[in-house]
Structure 1
Amino acid sequence: MYSTLLFLHSLGRWAVVGGLVYGIARAYRGWLGNQPFTPLDNTIRHTVATIAHVQLMLGYALYFVSPLLKTFHLRDAEHDPGTLFFGFQHVAAMTVAIVVLTIGAARAKRQPTSTAQFRTMALWFTAALLLILLAIPWPFSPLASRPYFRFPF
Structure 2
Amino acid sequence: MYPTLLALHSLTRWLVLISLMYAIYRAYRGQHKHLPFTKFDNTVRHVTATIAHIQLTWGVWLYIISPLTEYFRDHFSTAVHDRQFRFFGMEHSLMMLTAVTLITIGSAKAKRQATDQQKFKTMVTWFTIALLIILSSIPWSFSPLISRPNFRPF
TM-score normalised to structure 1 length: 0.96
CA distance in 1, matches of 2:36, 2:135: 29
Structure 1 residue 34: Cα displacement: 0.4
Structure 1 residue 10: Cα displacement: 0.5
Identity %: 55
Partner of 1:58: 58
What's the C-alpha RMSD, in Å, of the aligned pairs?
A: 0.9
Aligned-partner residue type, residue 57 of structure 2? M
- 4+ long deviations beyond 2 Å: none
Which one of the candidate residues 71, 78, 81 is aligned to 1:76? 78
Superposed, 1:94-113 pairs within 5 Å as 94-113=96-115
Could you list the runs of 5+ residues in structure 2 that have no partner in the other structure?
A: none
Could you list the runs of 5+ residues in structure 1 that have no partner in the other structure?
A: none
CA distance in 1, matches of 2:120, 2:70: 44
Partner of 1:127: 129
Structure 1 residue 76: Cα displacement: 1.1
The answer to whether the 8 A contact 1:85-1:143 is kept is no
CA distance in 2, matches of 1:49, 1:127: 14
The answer to whether the 8 A contact 1:104-1:120 is kept is yes
Which one of the candidate residues 136, 144, 149 is aligned to 2:138? 136
SS in 2 for 1:57: helix
For these two proteins, the number of residue pairs brought into alignment is: 152
